[in-house]
Amino acid sequence: MTPQHSKKASVAATGSTLWDLEAWKNAWVKLLPQHAYKNPVMAIVWLGTLISLVSTLMGQAEALFGSMVTIILFLTVLFANYAEAIAEAKGRGQAASLKQARQNLTARRLSSMQDSTGTEVAATALLINDLIEVRAGELIPADGEIIEGCATINEAAVTGESAPVLREAGTDRSGVIGGTKVLTDRIVVQVTADSGNSFLDRMIALVEGANRQKTPNEIALGILLMVMTLTFLMVVLSLPFIAGFLGIKVSPIILVALLVCLIPTTIGGLLPAIGIAGMNRALKANIIAKSGKAVEVAGDVDVLLLDKTGTITYGDRQATAFHPLIGVTETELRQAALLTSLADPTPEGKSIVALAKELGEKVVEPEHAEFIAFNASTRISGINLQDGQQIRKGAIDAILKITEKNGNNHAELKARVEQVASKGATPLVVARDEHVLGVIELSDVIKQGIKEKFARLREMGIKTVMITGDNPLTAAAIAAEAGVDDYIAEAKPEDKIACIRREQEQGHLVAMVGDGTNDAPALAQADIGLAMNSGTQAAKEAGNMVDLDSDPTKLLAVVEIGKQQLITRGALTTFSLANDISKYFAILPALFVVALPQMQVLNVMRLSSSESAILSALIFNAIIIPMLIPLALRGVKFRPSTSTQLLRRNMMIYGVGGVILPFIAIKIIDVIISAVFQL
């Protein structure tokens, strides 16, 4: 077992047990006032515990009964603290291994690109824009962008994936993370983050919970719980006056017990753990969420924008055929396509060279030629030869603009393009000077299972939109095969932002995925921007989530994690409010049955005595919190369904179950208490 796998196993073990000693220690620390006030509901219970203790010591209740109430209330607070502590412990276990990846790092800082030796400095001394050289076998000392060279890098310290990845200057896979290891070659990296603000530093802070901010829904629910708590507090404070008219003296211990049973202590105790666990589940899927809000918003997303290449398809489009126009030989087309692709670093360019060589073309690099790199705006690349020839390859509309003076074969060209596009392949047009030579057929493959994933999203009411630079025919063929709801063809970077804004203006929450610098504006505009770990620093800064596996299809998993977060909080809130009903039937008759015998009709559980009823309700109120901790950490199982179906399911399982279970449990506890303590 590798160290990384051992780390993950230990983390899993930490989260799976309810007897973590470190978590119990932190649960006691959270009893201190500076921690306790952060959870108002449980702070009220903690204050009630102290009032019960003082009242018992002052003789305002029977010693045994008062002591038992105090102990039960104290355990209620401790269990709630433990729920939060065990969730935080999971994050600390993950953070410990991340800290190891950045210990004692040194850097070889270069004064300029011409500096061949450099100066050895501590990684902590590096500043933004410093140049560092990293060679094979060395750890990368800081986050940055490769500006020279390419190398295979082991990112297991961050992602847990032992397979090396390729990072290369000048591509959308130029970003590197401090603490990862260069396996081959040499690279020059420009530092993009100061010490203490690196990707690893922010990851550690996030998983430890130090920077966890409450989500809007969590804040709203917290306000609701606080309002309910204050309302019941006023009700309980008014009871002594009402009881006075009936000639009943109610002790402070009874009032505290009633208050604790009335307020929503179950969800109040579990709410922080649910929020922390949501981010932990995202991290378990190798997704770094920059805030809990990002995880939660993902559950409300109703529009997904996905790039075709690398997301819906495998991304490595391969040249599979050359289609010359009439009057052009296949050799002419192959040779022209080969020349435009000799310096093309893209997979498509390399595949064109490979296919041309396979069909018999010899590779002879022209002297004094100028290579024209692909541009996202013009969507053209090519080469200028020494004899003045200009050879270009690109999208049909872009090529037509530069060959519009010679439109003799444009009709034939469009027919060829439609023929290729109708098969779901991508046509790439080749022109020499102002004459179109023919079409290169680039074939891509739909990822296995992607259609089923889109079907699941459709069941959840989420619209999927494919964005591609392909022509409309190709886009339509791929969209139909993949099963997306809509598509945007011949899209430029600004089209992504326009699409996102258009959807947002209609009231939709939009998610998208990206890895390049040109994706950064759209990632920032989207409600959920999932940036690839392999992508540029600009993309990672713009997005509010980073996928450590650099798998664009992970966006589908992000939505499910977000929905599971919302469902878990909703289900446990429903259960918490529902099980309060049984406690009313236990406590209220116990308070007034002596003065008002008619109240006995409310004692539907036929509890043995007033003291036994109160203790039974309090014990159930306490033990239900640790019983629900595994569910809060694991999350309620998510099944694709509509909001109405989810509501109906939650009400049946957690609503009805939350009413019935406490009646049974409180009665069992009452039988045990009355038998043991003769109450």
| 451, 463: one domain | yes
- Give the three-class secondary structure for 469: coil
Residue with the bigger pLDDT between 603 and 663: it is 663
Write out the two tokens for 293.
């809000």
**Residues in the chain, overall count:** 679
> Higher pLDDT residue, 4 or 426?
426
Rounded Cα distance between 175 and 173, Å, is: 6
Q: What are the residues facing 512 on neighbouring strands?
A: 305, 529
Q: What are 599's two structure tokens?
A: 């109240």
Query: Last residue of a domain, which of 497, 522, 548?
Result: 548
Spatial distance between the Cα atoms of 304 and 297, rounded to a whole number of angstroms: 13
The alpha carbons of the chain give a radius of gyration, in whole angstroms, of: 33
Please check whether residue 212 is in contact with residue 279, taking contact to mean a CB–CB distance below 8 angstroms: yes
Residue with tokens 């309302």: 231
DSSP reduced 3-state for 199: helix
pLDDT (tens digit, 9 = 90+) per residue, 284-301?
Answer: 777 877 766 778 788 888
Cα four-point dihedral sign 38, 42, 48, 49 = negative
Query: DSSP characters for 384-422?
Result: E-TTS-EEEEE-HHHHHHHSTT--TTHHHHHHHHHHHHT
Quote the CA–CA distance of 473 and 333 in Å, as a whole number. Answer: 23
The domain of 516 spans 300-312+447-548
Q: What is the pLDDT of residue 199?
A: 67
481 labeled binding residue? no
pLDDT > 90: percent of the chain: 16
Measured in degrees and rounded to the nearest 5, phi and psi for residue 391 equal -110, 130
Q: What is the DSSP string of 575-638?
A: HHHHHHHHHHHHHHHHHHTTT-GGGGGG-TT--S-HHHHHHHHHHHHHHHHHHHHHHHHH-PPP
Overall average pLDDT of the 552-566 stretch: 80
- What are the tokens at 433? 């000077």
Counted domains in the chain: 4
Phi-psi region of 399 (alpha: psi -120 to 50; beta: other; left: phi over 0): alpha
Residue 260 maps to a domain: yes
575 assigned to a ligand binding site: no
Is 421 assigned a ligand-binding role in the annotation? Answer: no
Cα 39 from Cα 269, distance rounded (Å): 8
Both 341 and 451 in one domain: the answer is no
- Tell me which of 620 and 589 has the higher pLDDT: 620
In the predicted structure, residue 41 carries a pLDDT above the cut 50: yes
CA angle 363, 367, 371 (to 5 degrees): 80
Residue 130 lies in a domain: yes
Average pLDDT, integer, range 570-599 = 77
**Residue that is written with structure tokens 């791929």 in the block:** 478
Q: Is 379 known as a binding-site position?
A: yes
273 and 340, same structural domain? no
| CB count in 10 Å sphere of residue 70 | 23
AA identity, residue 106: T
Sign of CA dihedral 194, 198, 204, 207: positive
What pLDDT was estimated at residue 134? 92
pLDDT of residue 69: 92
Q: What is the mean pLDDT of residues 428-446?
A: 88
In this structure, what CATH number is given to the domain that contains residue 140?
A: 2.70.150.10
Q: Supply the CATH number for residue 470's domain.
A: 3.40.50.1000
Judge whether 376 is annotated as a binding position: yes
Alpha-carbon gap, residue 508 to 302, rounded angstroms? 6
Q: Which residue carries 């010490």 as its tokens?
A: 195
Judge if 272 and 247 occupy the same domain: yes
Could you say which of 134, 164, 197 is where a domain stops? Answer: 197
Residues 433 and 487 reside in one and the same domain: no
Q: Does 213 fall in a domain?
A: yes
pTM over 0.75: no
pLDDT in the model for residue 47: 94
Q: Residue 345: which CATH number? A: 3.40.1110.10
* Catalytic entry in 143, 307, 527, 549: 307
**In this predicted structure, which of 208-217, 404-413, 596-605 has the lowest mean pLDDT?**
208-217
Contact at 8 Å (CB) between 188 and 148?
A: yes
DSSP-assigned states of every residue in 470-520: S-HHHHHHHHHHHT-SEEE-S--HHHHHHHHHHHHHTT--EEEEE-SGGGH
Mean pLDDT of the region 226-252: 83
The question of whether 307 is a catalytic residue gets the answer yes
Task: For CA atoms 162, 168, 171, 175, give the dihedral sign.
Answer: positive
pLDDT at 12 over 70: no
In angstroms, rounded to a whole number, what is the distance separating the alpha carbons of residues 479 and 609? 69
Are 441 and 427 within 8 A, CB to CB? yes
| 381 known ligand binder | yes
pLDDT class for 469, splitting at 50, 70, 90? confident
* Residue 536 assigned ligand-binding role: no
Q: Is residue 360 part of a domain?
A: yes
Whether 97 maps to a domain, the answer reads no
Does position 345 have pLDDT exceeding 60, yes or no? Answer: yes
Average pLDDT over residues 464-481: 83
- Tell me the backbone φ, ψ of residue 420, rounded to 5 degrees: -70, -45
CB 415 within 8 A of CB 376: no
Cα 24 to chain centroid, rounded: 28
Contact call for residues 337 and 302 (beta carbons, < 8 A): no
Q: What is the pLDDT of residue 440?
A: 93
pLDDT tens by residue, 153-204 = 887 766 655 567 788 887 767 888 887 889 888 899 999 887 777 766 766 6
Distance of CA 552 to the CA centre of its chain: 13
Q: What is the mean pLDDT of residues 12-37?
A: 74
Q: Are residues 385 and 347 in the same domain?
A: yes
Q: Does residue 436 sit in the same domain as residue 325?
A: yes
Query: What pLDDT was estimated at residue 160?
Result: 58
For the cut 80, the answer to whether the pLDDT of residue 366 exceeds it is: yes
Region 548-565 average pLDDT: 79
Answer whether residue 87 shows pLDDT above 80. Answer: no
Does 433 count as an annotated binding residue? no
pLDDT at position 209 is: 52
Secondary structure (3-state) at 665: helix
* pLDDT for residue 11 is more than 60: no
* Residues 330 and 412 reside in one and the same domain: yes
The closest alpha carbon to 558, from 215, 295, 288, belongs to 295
Residues 522 and 424 grouped into a single domain: no
Q: Which of 172, 197, 222 is the last residue of a domain?
A: 197
Same domain, 360 and 415: yes
Separation of alpha carbons 516 and 513, rounded Å = 10
Instruction: Using the predicted structure, report yes or no on whether residue 1 has a pLDDT greater than 70.
Output: no
What three-state secondary structure class fits 352?
helix
Residues 70 and 214 in one domain: yes
Q: What is the distance between the alpha carbons of residues 88 and 26, in angstroms, rounded to a whole number? A: 9
Is 130 labelled a binding residue? no
Q: Is the model more confident about 649 or about 333?
A: 333
pLDDT band at 53, cuts 50/70/90?
Answer: very high
pLDDT band at 6 (very low <50, low <70, confident <90, very high): very low
Region 357-367 average pLDDT: 86
Residue 666 lies in a domain: yes
Consult the annotation and say whether 380 binds a ligand: yes
Contacts of 296 (CB under 8 A, 6+ apart): 215, 216, 217, 218, 278, 562, 565, 566
Neighbours of 597 (CB within 10 A): 9
Based on the fold, state whether residues 506 and 651 are members of the same structural domain. no
Q: Exposed, middle or buried, 662 (CB in 10 Å: 0-12/13-18/19+)?
A: buried
Residue 185 token pair: 């070659």
173 is in an annotated binding site: no
DSSP string, 48-78: HHHHHHHHHHTTSS-HHHHHHHHHHHHHHHH
Q: Would you put residue 272 in left (φ > 0), alpha (ψ -120 to 50) or beta? A: alpha
Which has the closest alpha carbon to 47: 319, 236, 260, 289? 260
Structure confidence at residue 210 (pLDDT): 41
The structure tokens listed for 506 are 């209609």
Q: Is residue 630 part of a domain?
A: yes
Does residue 239 surpass a pLDDT of 60? yes
Tracing tokens 């201190």 back to the chain, one arrives at 32
Q: Which amino acid is at 149?
A: G
pLDDT at 211 > cutoff 50: no
Answer whether residue 260 shows pLDDT above 50: yes
Is 277 known as a binding-site position? no
143 marked as binding residue = no
The answer to whether position 6 is within a domain reads: no
> In whole numbers, what is the pLDDT of the chain averaged over residues?
81
Encoded tokens for 19? 């007897």
pLDDT at position 595 is 58
Which residue type sits at 72? I
Compute the Cα dihedral for 291, 293, 294, 299 and give only its sign: positive
